[in-house]
């Protein structure tokens, strides 16, 4: 499976500023073989820090499939992923080995309430969760 950044250069640069691509590339390069859950084998990875362009060539884990943000998913579909993410977070979130690696920190830069980016995500939350 090939994974690329978005073709829209403005969006790609914006996402790159949050370190999303660097963290994902470095996860596969440095950490994937150390986690207690199944990850696809990475055949190739590359990332350009200036442009945010990246490519990951990953093992196909069919019948698993990528979700579509616009469509969403059921709780039944989301639960296995949530359980695996919870294992990862529990094992690594407080581990100084992981957090001390440049570009691998779990936390994202804080968003200001006045930053337009935060409102894009908040609009996806139900009123009771905002």
Phi-psi label, residue 72: left if phi above 0, alpha if psi -120 to 50, beta otherwise:
left
For 1-32, write each residue's pLDDT tens digit.
899 988 888 888 888 888 888 889 998 998 88
pLDDT tens for 23-74 read 899 989 988 888 877 889 999 999 888 888 899 999 998 887 777 778 888 8
pLDDT(126) > 90: no
């Amino acid at each position: 499976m090939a994974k690329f950044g978005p073709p829209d250069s403005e969006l790609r640069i914006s996402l790159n500023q949050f370190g999303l691509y660097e963290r994902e590339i470095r996860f596969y390069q440095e950490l994937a073989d150390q986690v207690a859950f199944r990850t696809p084998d990475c055949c190739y990875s590359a990332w350009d820090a200036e442009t945010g362009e990246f490519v990951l060539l990953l093992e196909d884990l069919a019948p698993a499939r990528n979700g579509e943000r616009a469509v969403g998913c059921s709780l039944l579909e989301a639960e296995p992923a949530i359980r695996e993410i919870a294992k990862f977070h529990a094992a690594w979130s407080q581990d100084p080995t992981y957090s001390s690696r440049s570009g691998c920190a779990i936390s994202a830069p804080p968003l200001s309430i006045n930053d337009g980016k935060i409102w894009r995500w908040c609009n996806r939350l139900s009123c009771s969760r905002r």
